[in-house]
Amino acid sequence: MAAGKKSLKVTLIRSLHGRLAAHKACANGLGLRRVHQSATVEDSPCTRGMINKISYMIKCEEVG
């Protein structure tokens, strides 16, 4: 992460099994592959879009 950039910690809380292909792709794009796995991503409009699309499957919290 670049200095001064905000970041978000996203955690997959529901399974990817049986989800739409686009939703699976969003989870993979965020670096989430297993339930309860967490990833830290940069806070940008594209990551916010992915987070909004799969908000029912993830938990998101701001990091520093």
CATH number for the domain whose boundaries are 7-63 = 3.30.1390.20
Over range 43-50, report the average pLDDT: 96
User: What does the pLDDT read at residue 5?
Assistant: 81
Q: Could you tell me if 27 and 16 are in contact, meaning their C-beta atoms sit under 8 angstroms apart?
A: yes
pTM of the model: 0.87
Domains of the chain, by residue range, sit at 7-63
What amino acid occupies position 15? S
3-state secondary structure the chain: CCCCCCEEEEEECCCCCCCCHHHHHHHHHCCCCCCCCEEEEECCHHHHHHHHHCCCCEEEEEEC
User: What does the pLDDT read at residue 40?
Assistant: 97
Over range 3-11, report the average pLDDT: 88
